[in-house]
Amino acid sequence: MSNDRAEIVHTNFLNRVASGALPHPVRDIDLAGSNLEGHELLNLFDAQLLSRHLDRVSRKLQARGEGFYTIGSSGHEGNAGIAWALRPNDMAFLHYRDAAFQIARSFQVPGSTPLWDMLLSFSMSKEDPISGGRHKVLGSKKLAIPPQTSTIASHLPKAVGAAFSVPLAKRVKPEHQAIADDGLVVCTFGDASLNHSTSQGALNTASWTAYQNSPLPILFVCEDNGIGISTKTPSDWVEASAKTRPALKYFQCNSLDVLDAYEIAREAANYVRKRRKPAFLHSKCIRLYGHAGPDAQTAYLSKQEIEATEAQDPLLHTAARLIREGLLSTDDVLARYNYCNARVERVAEEAIQRPRLETADEVKESLIPPSRENTPTKPATKAAREHCFGSADLRGMSQPQHMAKLINFALTDLMLEHKEIIMAGEDIGRKGGVYGVTQRLQQRFGIHRMIDTLLDEQAILGLGIGAAHNGLLPMPEIQFLAYVHNAIDQLRGEAASLPFFSNGQFTNPMVVRIAGLGYQRGFGGHFHNENTVSALRDIPGLILACPSNGRDAALMLRESVRLAKEEQRLVVFLEPIALYMVRDLHEKGDNGWTFDYPAPRTKEQIKLGDIACHGDGKDIAIVTYGNGTYLSLQAQKILAEQHQINTRVIDMRWLSPIPKDSILEAVKDAGRTLVVDECREQGSHSEALLALFSEHADMHATRIVADDCYIATGPSYGATMPSRDEIVDVAIKLAPKRKGKSAA
């Protein structure tokens, strides 16, 4: 049996149409009894034909080394009807088998060129209008289709977030709103992806939200072709899994018949749009050709199973309906099919001649999103601030405060000035956060801007990503650093990658606040004391900020919001838990770690890449951050007073990208360099810093790092991490020996 199932399906279509051996209708409905006009059905057939022939040519191009993607949409062409049932400005987060959806939508938007666009994508041309040649993705700015690169269901949480933002935008009024007030969000995925924790979490979040009567206009579309690569989906599993979910309306269509897909999708969309509640459309379809080009179905399916599936080709069903309705003759169907085939092959030969990305600079060009224009914000009036803060906090501003209080002040002023900021997270509203950092913010700004979420980090980050798609400025909070690992791909594979894979056309700027790092005294062990940031620091395009004191925290929060608002950046703001309430630096009562609150609109700023240098000692430069800065300043005093070793302490502040030039400049005239890194030895910043000093400077550098071990609960909470005394001991050994006296 030939392995080229694409050509077999092609020949079967021609032979069966010519002979009249067409399948029976899957639903007893005719065009006259539907909401679709005859010319619209012809448009949908054309979209299906174009999708099919694009699949065929993609495999031919790959065989010639001119094409680079063969996961096709054949068998899923009925989703052209689903697209037609929606508005072309309803934001769509699409499954990778939804070419017919995008093509059908393009027919509704004048000036679209779907054939040319998709062929440029297949051939990885840098003129590809969505990714610029970086990946074969469905997507279009004009068609309100952000590109998805996931092969599972990691786009579902942000689709829920985008839908949640639609009614929210009526209250918060984003400047760059992308979804109409009466719009909805559609999110499509496969039956195999339904089993992934990400999709289950997103569906649960939708149900949880709607169950409380919060509006959530989203249409989930599960395209059930019965198989995931080689693993079959149990019969009726999708229906059984989805139908009983609370507050989630279930619909089912058979997408072999594009008219049935259209009619049921129209009913589902009307339900979502009118009721502002989520719905689940179970779209039954088939998969032709196998998973992708290299996938040999014969390894896991019998010949009889393959042929039975191919006999239900949705193009045959549409052809049968067109002939039965008298819209086309047999010859007309064949002529239309062959014309589309010839056109796709002709245009493909032109597309493969277009230039491709060649250099690293070209590939990286869209990693950092473009800046955007914003209406200048006005500072809050004195009366507004007095009303918002209240007399107690206003009095508190006249005195030095610890980090937690200064962050609270800064968040309040930021939310006063930037009306599009929303915050979301577990316990951040009514409770005010585990450590009280967000206390009174919900009373100040209401439940629509200070959102208490369910316990699901993927849902929290998805809300932020989706809301940012709709022009809001989200500041989601992850309660503890360890918890972000439950959802890290929302940052790595979704948020940070979006500008890169959309050539800067789509962005999801936001500031993610995370409480983290170690040194909490006897609280929670490794779940609440997490001293690794390696999973964050290696995400391309992500900015990682880490203040060591309250004044820096306030100024860096302002810069983080500016980066998100003006430069559309993704920022993770890491707050050292152990320093939240610290007041003293050297001895009890000295208040050495409390700071004045920098007034809004002060000229003092901490810009991205700005480091801090405490002292000008030339014996040793200590490079550190977070808790390490606090400990190193304690050691600095002991070294100077008891050992006559003069140091400077360099607080990195910004952990990714590492401010390399500033650090090299700050250490260049010091005799020795010591890196104090509270994170674990493997994967910590110390590795990168020692490499930096080795490659760019003629200097001796050593490091103090945490052991490669989890953090214990109880009195030994700090045993595996750097301490003040360890810094002192290592510095003494490292310091240059002076003639005539010992440094010790």
- The tens digit of pLDDT for each residue in 420-447 reads 999 999 999 999 999 999 999 999 999 9
Q: In what order do the strands lie in the sheet with 570-576?
A: 450-452, 421-425, 473-478, 510-516, 570-576, 542-545, 654-656
- The tens digit of pLDDT for each residue in 665-687 reads 999 999 899 999 999 999 999 99
**Least confident stretch, 31-40, 341-350, 711-720:** 711-720
- The tens digit of pLDDT for each residue in 376-430 reads 888 899 999 999 999 999 999 999 999 999 999 999 999 999 999 999 999 999 9
Output the pLDDT for position 696: 82
Amino acid at 558: R
Q: Is residue 5 part of a domain?
A: no
d(CA 348, CA 435): 59
Q: Is the pLDDT of residue 656 over 90?
A: yes
- The tens digit of pLDDT for each residue in 594-624 reads 999 999 989 999 999 999 999 999 999 999 9
Looking at residues 489-509, what average pLDDT do you find?
95
What's the distance, CA 708 to chain centroid? 29
Output the pLDDT for position 78: 97
| Percent share of the chain, pLDDT over 70 | 98
Which residue has 């409770």 as its token pair?
A: 431
Q: Is the pLDDT of residue 211 over 60?
A: yes
Query: Smallest Cα–Cα separation from 452: which of 462, 442, 444?
Result: 442
| Whether residue 569 is found in the same domain as residue 714 | no
Which own/partner pairs from 238-245 qualify as long-range (CB within 8 Å, at least 24 positions apart)? Answer: 238/191, 238/194, 238/282, 239/282, 241/194, 242/194, 242/203, 242/280, 242/282, 243/280, 245/203, 245/204, 245/207, 245/280
| Whether residue 245 is found in the same domain as residue 330 | yes
- Give the pair of three-digit tokens for residue 29: 């409905």
Q: Is the pLDDT of residue 334 over 80?
A: yes
Looking at residues 517-528, what average pLDDT do you find?
80
The SS3 assignment for 741 reads: coil
User: How many domains, in total, are found in the chain?
Assistant: 3
- The tens digit of pLDDT for each residue in 100-155 reads 999 999 999 999 999 999 999 999 999 999 999 998 889 999 999 999 876 689 99
Q: Is 109 exposed, middle or buried (0-12, 13-18, 19+ CB in 10 A)?
A: middle
Q: Is residue 139 part of a domain?
A: yes
Q: Is residue 741 part of a domain?
A: no
Is the Cβ–Cβ distance between 84 and 106 less than 8 Å? no
| Whether residue 131 is found in the same domain as residue 174 | yes
Average pLDDT, the chain: 94
Output the pLDDT for position 700: 78
| Whether residue 386 is found in the same domain as residue 346 | no
Q: Is residue 563 part of a domain?
A: yes
Is the Cβ–Cβ distance between 386 and 436 less than 8 Å? no
- pLDDT category at 194 given cuts 50, 70, 90 is very high
Q: Of 536, 557, 579, which residue sits at a domain end? A: 579
Is the Cβ–Cβ distance between 441 and 390 less than 8 Å? no
Looking at residues 336-355, what average pLDDT do you find?
97
Give the DSSP per-residue string, 425-451: ETTSSSS--TTSTTTTHHHHH-TTTEE
d(CA 476, CA 479): 10
Is the Cβ–Cβ distance between 142 and 135 less than 8 Å? no
| Whether residue 492 is found in the same domain as residue 345 | no
Q: Is residue 448 part of a domain?
A: yes
d(CA 629, CA 63): 57
**Least confident stretch, 10-24, 140-154, 190-204, 649-663:** 140-154
Positive or negative, the Cα torsion across 150, 152, 155, 157?
negative
Output the pLDDT for position 397: 92
- The tens digit of pLDDT for each residue in 41-66 reads 999 999 999 999 999 999 999 989 99
Q: Of 561, 579, 597, which residue sits at a domain end? A: 579
- The tens digit of pLDDT for each residue in 523-533 reads 667 778 888 99
d(CA 544, CA 214): 33
Q: Is the pLDDT of residue 727 over 90?
A: yes
- CATH number of domain containing 91: 3.40.50.970
| Whether residue 567 is found in the same domain as residue 622 | no
Q: Is residue 30 part of a domain?
A: yes
| Whether residue 624 is found in the same domain as residue 517 | no
φ, ψ for residue 644, nearest 5 deg: 55, 35
| Whether residue 400 is found in the same domain as residue 466 | yes
Q: Is the pLDDT of residue 452 over 70?
A: yes
Output the pLDDT for position 526: 76
| Whether residue 218 is found in the same domain as residue 324 | yes
Looking at residues 252-271, what average pLDDT do you find?
98
Q: Is residue 65 part of a domain?
A: yes
Output the pLDDT for position 137: 83
- pLDDT category at 742 given cuts 50, 70, 90 is very low
Q: Is the pLDDT of residue 2 over 60?
A: no
| Whether residue 390 is found in the same domain as residue 350 | no
What's the distance, CA 302 to chain centroid? 40
Domain of 631, in residue numbers: 612-734
Query: Smallest Cα–Cα separation from 89: which of 152, 142, 165?
Result: 142
- pLDDT category at 743 given cuts 50, 70, 90 is very low
- Give the pair of three-digit tokens for residue 78: 């009925």
Looking at residues 293-317, what average pLDDT do you find?
92
pTM for the whole structure: 0.95
Is the Cβ–Cβ distance between 474 and 168 less than 8 Å? no
Is the Cβ–Cβ distance between 366 and 504 less than 8 Å? yes
**Least confident stretch, 234-243, 268-277, 405-414, 707-716:** 707-716
Output the pLDDT for position 609: 97
End-to-end Cα, the chain, rounded Å = 83
| Whether residue 140 is found in the same domain as residue 267 | yes
Q: Is the pLDDT of residue 739 over 80?
A: no
| Whether residue 217 is found in the same domain as residue 304 | yes
Q: Of 307, 340, 355, which residue sits at a domain end? A: 355
d(CA 7, CA 16): 14
- Give the pair of three-digit tokens for residue 464: 């932020």
Q: Is residue 603 part of a domain?
A: no
- CATH number of domain containing 683: 3.40.50.920
Output the pLDDT for position 736: 83
Peptide bond before residue 657 is cis, with ω within 30 degrees of 0 = yes
**How many residues in total does the chain contain?**
744
Output the pLDDT for position 420: 96
